[in-house]
Amino acid sequence: METVKAYGASSATSDLEMMHIDRRDLTGNDVQIDILYCGVCHSDIHTARSEWGPASYPVVPGHEIVGKVIATGPGVTAFKEGDLVGVGCMVDSCRECSACREGLEQYCENGAVMTYGGKDKHLGGHTFGGYSQNIVVDEAFVVRVPENLDIARVAPLLCAGITTWSPLRHWNVKKGDKVGVIGLGGLGHMGIKLAHALGAYVVMITRSMDKAEDAKALGADEVLLSTDEKAMQKHANSFDFLMNTIPVGHDLNPYISLMKRDTTMAIVGAIEPLKSVHGGMLVSKRKNIAGSMIGGIEETQEMLDFCGEHNILPDVEMIDIQNINEAWERVVRADVKYRFVIDMKSLQ
């Protein structure tokens, strides 16, 4: 067992502060990763503040982890010291249920072990995330980071990237499809980049005109103001796929009206009640509303390899860990383009 430095919250109302946590000794298939960068996800804040139900404290957040392998257990075959790797939202799962066998560990029937706040089978208690010096993870939940990518910007791919990639792939978005990305935050900006790289005609759907220029720079072919009734009508029944990244409950009906027959709107943002859905709008053109959660490990590797090939990276703002509380306040105000990444050297 090794004691390492971390930043965490000791209660729902406390700021993050420096603390010490334990990392387990390496078991057969474990790799130990020196954390170089960690992305800041809104989930970190929701969890630490017990906004998604009571958290176990201390909470050490962080599930967009990029680092270098510094040690490997004797059974490790896929990685060696010095490898550039990533860890996302999960560090383990049952590996036996139908979901795990299909490579969909995020839907593990017995509950995947989340990177922070999950049940720690090794040390007891709960897991601690990436706002820390290093982490020990079973190699089955470690992915390889393509060497050609700018490593300082890779981290958000491990959550924002895979969360938007997985639905694009599951619902088979392809060249020429008209894809709408609703909401321009951490998820939305990755959705635009990935859908664009897949060859889709990407429409950024937003309520705020001042996001239009940004959206185009990110790869959107068009911007649709959801408050402009005429424009919304012009786009009615025309989309092959909608990705809804709005992080809070909202009225889905205006977006449902945009969908072609037999298409899907995938909810990837909101995990709360979605107010009203009009049954008739679904019925009249056999439309689907679905949810999608992060992605499996194999799919995460696929996404990273795709990003390597196409040189796709999130737009990030680098911070030191000492500025994390201020950064969180800015995340809450949606004042970031589009993801904070913590340079973990600052914790040394």
- Shortest spacing between CB 15 and a copy of itself, in angstroms: 27
The string of DSSP letters for 228-269 reads -HHHHHHTTT-EEEEEE---S----HHHHTTEEEEEEEEE-S
Which amino acid is it at 161?
G
Residues 218-257 that bind a copy of itself (CB under 8 A): 237, 249, 252
Assess 285 for contact with a copy of itself (CB under 8 A): yes
C-alpha dihedral sign at 193, 275, 224, 178: positive
Nearer to a copy of itself, 266 or 327 (CB): 266
**At a CB cut-off of 8 Å and minimum separation 6, what does 39 contact?**
62, 64, 155, 156, 158, 159, 160, 314, 316, 339, 340, 341, 342
Binds a copy of itself by CB under 8 A, chosen from 68, 122, 170, 216: 170
Residue 17 has a CB neighbour count (10 Å cut-off) of 13
Q: Read off φ and ψ for residue 271, nearest 5 degrees.
A: -120, 50
Binds a copy of itself by CB under 8 A, chosen from 217, 290, 318, 332: 290
- Shortest spacing between CB 41 and a copy of itself, in angstroms: 15
Q: Which stretch binds a copy of itself (CB under 8 A): 41-49, 79-87, 99-107, 134-142?
A: 99-107
Assess 176 for contact with a copy of itself (CB under 8 A): no
Total interface residues for a copy of itself by CB under 8 A: 37
Which amino acid is it at 144?
R
Structure tokens at 193: 């980049």
Q: Which stretch binds a copy of itself (CB under 8 A): 2-10, 185-193, 282-290, 334-342?
A: 282-290
Assess 289 for contact with a copy of itself (CB under 8 A): yes
Structure tokens at 65: 């982890």
- Shortest spacing between CB 279 and a copy of itself, in angstroms: 4
Assess 277 for contact with a copy of itself (CB under 8 A): yes
Which residues of the shown chain bind a copy of itself in the complex (CB under 8 A)?
99, 104, 107, 109, 170, 237, 249, 252, 261, 264, 267-293
